[in-house]
Amino acid sequence: MTGATSAPAGPLDGPSAPEAAPEAAPEAHWLRRWVADLAMGARFALGGGREGWTRTVLTSAGVGLGVAVLLLATSVPHMLGARESRDQARENHGATETEKSDRSALYTYTDTEYRGSDVRGRTLQPEGSDPPVPPGLSELPGPGEMAVSPALKELLDSADGELLRERLPGRITATIADEGLLDPVELTYYAGSDQLTHGGAVFRVDKFAEVSEPAPIPALLLLLIIVICVVLLLPVAAFVGAAVRFGGDRRDRRLAALRLVGADSRMTKRVAAGEAATGSLLGLAVGAAIFLPLRQLLGEVNLWGIGTFPADVRPSAGLVVLIAFGVPVGAVLVSLLALRGVIIEPLGVVRNAGVRRRRLWWRLLPLVAGLALLVPLLDGLETGQTSVETYQIAAGVTLVLIGVNALLPWLVESAARRLRGGGLSVQLAVRRLQLDSGTASRAVSGITVAVAGAVALQMLFSAVVDDQQRHTGQSPERAEMLVTVPATAQLSEPEVTAGLAETRGVKQVFGQTTGYAVRADQNPDDGAVDSVTVADCATLRELAKMGSCENGDVFVTERSPQEEPESVTGAKPGAEVNLAMPDYSRPEGKQQREPVLWKVPEDARTVKGRTDPMGVASEGILATPAALDVSRMPGASVDVYVRTDDGVADAKEFVRNTAAAVGPTATAISLKATSTTAQFRAVERGLYAGATGILLLIGASMVVSTLEQLRERKRLLSVLVAFGTRRSTLAWSVLWQTALPVLVGLALAAVAGVGLGTVLLRMSALPFAVDWGNLAGVTVLGGLLVVLVAVVSMPALWRLMRPDGLRTE
Amino acid sequence: MTASTSALLTASGLHKTYGSTPALAGADFVIHPGEVVAVMGPSGSGKSTLLHCLAGIVPPDSGTVHYRGKELSALSDARRSALRRADFGFVFQFGQLVPELTCTENVALPLRLVGVGRKEAESRATRWLERLEIDDVRHHRPGQMSGGQGQRVAIARALVGAPSVIFADEPTGALDSLNGERVMGLLTDAARETRAAVVLVTHESRVAAYSDREVIVRDGRARDMAGAV
Amino acid sequence: MVYSPRMSISHTLLGLLESGPRHGYDLKRTFDQRFGHDRQLHYGQVYSTMSRLLKNGLVEVDGIEAGGGPERKRYAITDAGVTDVEQWLASPEKPEPYLQSVLYTKVVLALLTGRDAAELLDTQRAEHLRLMRELTRRKKDGDLADQLVCDHALFHLEADLRWLETAAARLDRLANVVRG
C-alpha cells in the first residue's frame, strides 16, 4: 500500500498495491494504510481528471460559501461587542454629580434627524483648560467649530447635505477617528459652544465612558435573535451538506472501478472519506478566501444606516476552531452516510435507496422532541423579562426545524407516489421523483427551513411591532412635529411659535408653555404634582373639550377616580399652588427654588381633558396667557406642535433647522403613529438580508444539482430528442420536477412556520395573528426561486439535447 | 434496385465533419419501403453519423436527404422533430429507455408525443408488448429487467407508432447471441409485416444477415453491395 | 463462375510472376516464405504447375540459364495469365470453413500486385452474407437440428468475416511488410 501515495500516475494505478501488501504487516501498519487510503482519496479529489476536479471545485465552492457565511455569523458577537464598547467609551449620561473644575465641561445632546437618517450630536463647552475629550478627538472643538465623522463630512460637503449644513453651521475643524465611531457610516458630530448654561438638559462632565450598565437585551429581542440565528444557520448547514454530495454518482462509479482492481469496501469508504475531507478542506480555504475580502467589502456597506468596521468583523477563536474541525468532520460523516444507501460492487453501483420506503415515525421524533422543549415555556416569557432559557429555546427551535426537514423527504415521496395524470412532461417529472425523491428533497430542505423559520419569525415580529405600536398612540394627523425648548433657553413661547410659523412648509402651529406646580401647603419634593399649561384658546382646545374660551380664562381638568384624591391636588378652583418646582439638574442641596405662589381663580371651569398629539392625556391646570404670566413659572418649557404642509418637500427639515437656530437645547421630533424601536428594526432588516442570501445560496445549490442530473442524463436526452420529443416538453418536465418538491416544501414550511410562530407567540404571551400577506410574499419568493433555477438550467438543457449525446459511446 | 421513384429515403453526397474529423465524405444511400438494409463498416467509419443524417437528427454539412420527396435539411428543426415523431422509429444499443417510466409508459412515449391520450397510448403499447412476448414485465422499470427484455421494449417502442422507417443503431450490441437473434427476428418480422423500412447499423455479420442487402461505409463513403456480386 | 480452390497454387504462382519473371527455384522460395507456413511446396509441384500453365498459355519461358536443369528455367506471365489472376482475385470464394489460407493468399497477392484489397474484402463479405442470409432463413423455418447446424455454419462464416475485417483494418501495415 505504500506505493499508493508515491505513485504519480493515474488514479487506477495505485489500488493494485493493497493485495500485495497485507501479508507483509497487516496490523502494524493499519494506520499507514488508513493514511494511504485517505491520501488516495485526496489525490482523486485533486487529480482525478476533469471529472474529479470539477466535483472538487463544486464541493469546495459550496463548502467555501457556507464557511464564509459561518465565519461571518461567528463574527457577529465581536462585531456587536466592539460597537457597544466604543459606544460606552464615548458617552456620559450625566448620572453622577460633577463639580465645576478646570477639568470639567458642559455637555448636551443635540441629536437630530435628517431625511430619515439619525444624526448623533453632542455640544460641549469647556469650563477650564483641561476639559475631557471624547475618543476619536485630540481636542474639543472651539465655539463655532465642529468635529464630524467622515460620513457626516461627506454628507455636509455634498449637495444633498445643504439643508443639514444650515442646521450645523459650525466650521469643521476635525474629523472623528474610528475609535470614536460605531461604524464607518455613522453620522455624528461634536460641536463647540460658549452659549451653554448648566441646568436642564445641559449637564457637567469631566470624563467619558461614564454610563450605567448597558440595558440588557429584552427577553423578546433575545428570543428573536436566537430564532434568527437558528433559522439562518440551519440552511447553511443544509447547503454545506448538499455541497459535499455534489457529483456523488460519478464518485461512486470511480469507487466501483477501484473495487474492480481489488479494493475492499472498507477501503473504498476511506477513499471516499479522504475525497470528502479534501474537498471540504479546500472549502475551508475558499471560505477564508471569500471571507477576507468580504470583510473589507463590509466596510463599504451601508445597510439601512448601519455599517461595520472591517476590523470588527473578527470571528471568535473558539468558533473558528470549531468550524475548522467541524466542517471537514461533518463532510466526511455526510459522505459516509450517503454511501450507506449505496452498495459499490466491482462491476457497478447498486442503489437501494428508492426501493426502501421512507418511514414516518422516526422522522417525527425531532419534531416531537422540539415541541416537548418549547411547550413548557408557554406563557413563561414576560415582555420586560431579561433572561430566557436561551439554550432550551434554541434547542427546541432547532429540533422543530430539523424535524420539518426530516419530514420533507417523506412528504415529497408520498406526494409523488399519489400524483397521477397530467401531460407527458408532468408524467416524466413525477416518475423521476418517484424513483429518486431524495436528491430533490435535499436540495429543497434548505428552503423549507428558511421559509418555515421566516414565517415563524414574521409572526413574532408583527406581534412585537403591534405591541410596540400600542404604546405609541401619537397622532401625526393632528401635528406632525413637536418642537420643545427647555426653560434654560430663556425664550418665551410666542417668540418660538412665531419663528416656527414663518418657517417654510409649516401650515399651523400650536404653542404652549408647560410647567408644574404643587399645592402651596405641600413639600415640592414629595407633593402631588400638577401640570400647568399656558396657551391661547386655539391651543387649549387641542388639550381639552371646552365651550367658550377667552383670554383670561382658567380651566382645570376632570379627575379620574384612579388619580390622586381631590384633597391633595392643586388643580381645582380656588387652590393656592407653588409654581416654582425644584431644579433637579442642580447638585443636591441647591435644587430648591424660592416659592412662587399663585391662586387658581375660583371661577376656573372644570373641563374634560383630551389626549394631546403626543398621545398623553392632558390634565392639571390650563390657563390663558392673560390669566397667568409665564415669566412666573421657573423651569417651564415651551412646546410647539407643528403641522407641516405635505406638499413641501423637506418641510420637516426646515422645521428642524428653525428649531436648531433657537439654540442647542431645542429639540424637534417627528410624531409617528407607529414606532418600532431601533433595535427591532435592525434585527428585522438583518433577518430579511439573511433570508435573501440564504435563498440565493439554496438556489445556487439547486442549480448545481439540476445541472448535474441533466448531465447524467445526457444520452437519454439525446435519444428523446432523436425520437422527436419537443424540447419544450423536456424543459417543462425539468420545471415540474423542480417545482413539485419546492411546492411541497413551501406548503410544509407554511404549516410548520405558522405552528412554530404560534408556539413562540404563546411563549411571549402575544396575541395570535398571521400576516397572510407576508406569508404569501415568502412563498412567492420560493416560487421565484424555482423559476430562477429552471431558467438558469435551460441553456445547459438545450446544449445537452443536441444529438451529440448519441455519439459519445 | 435503382428505381429512385419508388425510393422511400434517399441520400446523396452527404458530408459531415465533427471538429476536424470527417465522419462522412460524400456518402450516398437509398432505401425502399419494406426493405431492411444493413449498414456495416469498421468503427469510426461514419455508420452512426450516416444514420443520424438519414433520420434528420443531425443536419449534414452538405448533400441532401430526401424522405418521400421532401428535402430534410430544408425543413425547420421543429418540422424535422415532428417528422421523426410521426414517421420514424428508433432503437439504440442502450440507454434509451427512460429509467423512471414503466415499460408500458416507455412504449407509449412516441404515441404520447404525437398527442394520443394516455389510456389509448398505453393500451396500444400493451398490445405491442404482448406481441413481443414481454407483457409480463410491463409494470417493471428498465432497471428491473434483463438487457434482452429492455431491447424488446425498445423495439416495441420503435414500432408502436407504425413508422415508415425504423432506425436501429447496433440494436443487439449489448446482447448475447441468442437474445440478439430473438431481437433481430422480432424486429425484422414486425417490420416486414408493417412494410416498414429498417436502417440497421451493425458491425456483426450475423445481425446483418437479417437484412435484405448491406451497405458498407468506409472512410466516410457508403458502398451499396447489392449490385457488386 | 467456377470455384476451384485446388487451383489456388497455380493462381498464386501466377500472381507471384506478375511482379516480374522468376526462376522456378525462386518461385518456390517466395511461395514458401509468404504462404508456406505449414507446408512447403515440393519442387515437383512447382514444375508440374508450371508445365500446366505453359500448356494453357498463361506463362511462357523467359530464358534458360546455361548448364541448367529444369530449375534453371525462367518463367514470365502472359497477358492471358494476368487476366486469369485478375478473374481469380475478383471472384469471391465460396463461403466455406477453413478458407483462411486462400483468402490470405488473395489479400497478399492483391497487395503485391497493387490491387485494392479492401475491394476484395467487400466482395467476399457480400458473398458470405448472401450465404448467411440463406442460413438465417433456413434456421427460422427449420427444426432444432437444422438450427444447430445452421448456427455452426453461421458462426464459422462470421469468424471468417471477422478475420477479413481485421485483415482489412491491418492492410496498411500489411502493405508495408509485403512491399518492404
- Give the per-residue pLDDT at A14: 39
- Spell out which residues of chain A touch residue B110, defining contact as CB-CB under 8 Å: 723-724
With CA atoms as reference, the chain C residue closest to B228 would be: C123
Given C58, C91, C124, the domain boundary residue is C91
User: Taking the CB of residue A118, how many other CB atoms lie within 10 A of it?
Assistant: 14
Asked if C136 is an interface residue toward chain B (Cβ–Cβ < 8 A), one would say yes
Asked if C120 is an interface residue toward chain B (Cβ–Cβ < 8 A), one would say no
- Give the per-residue pLDDT at A472: 62
Q: Which of residues 11-40 of B touch A (CB under 8 A)?
A: 18
Is B10 part of a structural domain of the chain? yes
Chain centroid to CA B111: how far?
17
Asked if C118 is an interface residue toward chain B (Cβ–Cβ < 8 A), one would say yes
Angle subtended at Cα A14 by Cα A8 and Cα A17, rounded to the nearest 5 degrees: 135
- Spell out which residues of chain B touch residue C162, defining contact as CB-CB under 8 Å: 205
Chain centroid to CA A635: how far?
41
- Spell out which residues of chain B touch residue A725, defining contact as CB-CB under 8 Å: 81, 85, 113
Given C66, C91, C116, the domain boundary residue is C91
For residue range C70-83, list pLDDT tens digits in order. Answer: 557 888 999 999 99
- Spell out which residues of chain B touch residue C168, defining contact as CB-CB under 8 Å: 42
The three cell numbers of residue C156 are 464459422
Angle subtended at Cα A365 by Cα A362 and Cα A366, rounded to the nearest 5 degrees: 125
The pairing of beta strand A530-534 with beta strand A621-623 = parallel
Q: Cβ contact (<8 Å) for A723 and B86? A: no
Q: Cβ contact (<8 Å) for A720 and B98? A: yes
The three cell numbers of residue A230 are 437558528
The three cell numbers of residue A465 are 411591532
Q: Cβ contact (<8 Å) for B101 and A726? A: no
Are residues C99 and C176 located together in one domain of the fold? Answer: yes
What sign for the dihedral angle of Cα A692, A695, A701, A707?
negative
The three cell numbers of residue A127 are 469650563
Are residues C32 and C112 located together in one domain of the fold? Answer: no
Q: Cβ contact (<8 Å) for A719 and B95? A: yes
Are residues C2 and C87 located together in one domain of the fold? Answer: yes
Q: Cβ contact (<8 Å) for B214 and C133? A: no
Residues of the domain holding B108: 4-224
Distance CA C132, CA A62 (A): 59
Asked if B74 is an interface residue toward chain C (Cβ–Cβ < 8 A), one would say no
Q: Cβ contact (<8 Å) for B95 and A723? A: no
Q: Report helix, strand or coil for B192.
A: helix
Note the maximum CA span of chain C.
68
- Spell out which residues of chain B touch residue C165, defining contact as CB-CB under 8 Å: 42, 203
Are residues C9 and C27 located together in one domain of the fold? Answer: yes
User: Taking the CB of residue C6, how many other CB atoms lie within 10 A of it?
Assistant: 8
Question: CA of B133: how far to CAs of B109, B129, B168, B186, in Å?
Answer: 19, 6, 20, 10
The three cell numbers of residue A382 are 414576560
Are residues C127 and C55 located together in one domain of the fold? Answer: no
Nearest C-alpha of chain C: how many angstroms from B228? Answer: 7
For residue range C80-109, list pLDDT tens digits in order. Answer: 999 988 888 888 877 765 666 677 778 778
For residue range C14-34, list pLDDT tens digits in order. Answer: 888 888 888 888 888 888 877
Q: Which of residues 154-173 of C touch B (CB under 8 A)?
A: 154-155, 157-158, 161-162, 165, 168-169
Are residues C24 and C7 located together in one domain of the fold? Answer: yes
Are residues C149 and C104 located together in one domain of the fold? Answer: yes
| Between A477 and B153, residue with greater pLDDT | B153
pLDDT at C180 over 60: no
End-to-end CA distance of chain C: 34
Q: Which of residues 67-86 of C touch B (CB under 8 A)?
A: none
Mark the ranges of chain A whose per-residue pLDDT is less than 70: 1-28, 48-52, 94-96, 210-221, 302-306, 341, 346-358, 379-388, 390, 421, 465-473, 487-490, 560-568, 584-590, 673-689, 774, 804-805, 807-809
- Spell out which residues of chain B touch residue A427, defining contact as CB-CB under 8 Å: 101, 105, 112, 118
User: What's the average model confidence in pLDDT over C29-52?
Assistant: 79
Distance CA A596, CA A490 (A): 18
Residue B22's contacts (CB-CB under 8 Å, 6 or more residues apart) are B15, B16, B220
- Give the per-residue pLDDT at B63: 92
With CA atoms as reference, the chain B residue closest to A422 would be: B118
DSSP output for chain C: ----GGGHHHHHHHHHHHTS-EEHHHHHHHHHHHH-SS-PPPHHHHHHHHHHHHHHTSEEEEEE-TT--GGGEEEEE-HHHHHHHHHHHHSPPPP-SS-HHHHHHHHHHHHHTT--HHHHHHHHHHHHHHHHHHHHHHHHHS-HHHHHHHHHHHHHHHHHHHHHHHHHHTHHHHHHHHH-
Is B229 part of a structural domain of the chain? no
Looking at residue B59, its amino acid is: P
- Spell out which residues of chain A touch residue B57, defining contact as CB-CB under 8 Å: 721-722, 803, 806
Residues of the domain holding C70: 1-91
Asked if A734 is an interface residue toward chain B (Cβ–Cβ < 8 A), one would say no
| Between B198 and A385, residue with greater pLDDT | B198
- Spell out which residues of chain C touch residue B45, defining contact as CB-CB under 8 Å: none
- Give the per-residue pLDDT at A351: 58
- Spell out which residues of chain B touch residue C128, defining contact as CB-CB under 8 Å: 205
Chains C and A touch (3+ CB pairs under 8 A): no
For residue range B38-83, list pLDDT tens digits in order. Answer: 999 877 788 888 998 999 888 899 999 999 988 988 888 888 888 8
Domain containing residue B100: CATH number = 3.40.50.300
What sign for the dihedral angle of Cα A46, A51, A57, A59?
negative
HEC profile for A665-692? CCEEEECCCCCCCHHHHHHHHHHHHHHH
Q: Cβ contact (<8 Å) for B229 and C130? A: yes
- Spell out which residues of chain B touch residue A435, defining contact as CB-CB under 8 Å: 99-100, 141
Asked if B39 is an interface residue toward chain C (Cβ–Cβ < 8 A), one would say no
User: What is the total count of domains within chain B?
Assistant: 1
- Rounded (10°) CA dihedral A450, A454, A455, A460: 150
Nearest to C158 among B206, B216, B218 (CB): B206
ipTM: 0.84
DSSP code of A703? H
Question: CA of A43: how far to CAs of A264, A282, A567, C54, in Å?
Answer: 18, 13, 93, 75
Q: How many residues does chain C have?
A: 180
Nearest to B208 among C122, C129, C135 (CB): C129
Distance CA A640, CA B84 (A): 84
Are residues C59 and C19 located together in one domain of the fold? Answer: yes
- Spell out which residues of chain B touch residue A807, defining contact as CB-CB under 8 Å: 18, 48-49
Is B58 part of a structural domain of the chain? yes
User: Taking the CB of residue A241, how many other CB atoms lie within 10 A of it?
Assistant: 23
Are residues C8 and C65 located together in one domain of the fold? Answer: yes
Asked if B216 is an interface residue toward chain A (Cβ–Cβ < 8 A), one would say no
Asked if A723 is an interface residue toward chain B (Cβ–Cβ < 8 A), one would say yes
Q: Cβ contact (<8 Å) for C126 and B228? A: yes
Among the listed residues B29, B18, B41, the one whose alpha carbon sits nearest the alpha carbon of residue B72: B29
Given C61, C91, C121, the domain boundary residue is C91
Distance CA B150, CA A376 (A): 59
User: Taking the CB of residue A115, how many other CB atoms lie within 10 A of it?
Assistant: 14
Nearest C-alpha of chain C: how many angstroms from B63? Answer: 25
Angle at which helix C24-35 crosses helix C43-56, to 10 degrees, equals 110
Are residues C63 and C10 located together in one domain of the fold? Answer: yes
Asked if C122 is an interface residue toward chain B (Cβ–Cβ < 8 A), one would say yes
Are residues C10 and C41 located together in one domain of the fold? Answer: yes
8 Å CB contact between A779 and A451: yes
Nearest to C136 among B42, B210, B228 (CB): B210
Q: Please give the helix or strand (H or E) that residue B119 lies within, else none.
A: helix B118-131
Asked if C116 is an interface residue toward chain B (Cβ–Cβ < 8 A), one would say no
- Give the per-residue pLDDT at A681: 63
Nearest to B92 among A428, A719, A724 (CB): A719
User: What is the total count of domains within chain C?
Assistant: 2
* Mutate which: B49, B50, B51, B81, vs A, most A CBs within 10 A: B81
- Spell out which residues of chain A touch residue B49, defining contact as CB-CB under 8 Å: 807
* Mutate which: C132, C136, C141, vs B, most B CBs within 10 A: C136
Distance CA A81, CA A77 (A): 6
Are residues C110 and C177 located together in one domain of the fold? Answer: yes
Q: Cβ contact (<8 Å) for B218 and C118? A: yes
A325-358 burial, b if ≥16 CB within 10 A, otherwise e? eebbebbbebbeebbeebebeeeebeeeeeeeeb
The pairing of beta strand B165-169 with beta strand B197-201 = parallel
- Spell out which residues of chain B touch residue A806, defining contact as CB-CB under 8 Å: 48, 52, 57, 92, 169
Asked if B40 is an interface residue toward chain C (Cβ–Cβ < 8 A), one would say yes
H helices, E strands: number in chain B: 7, 10
DSSP code of A56? H
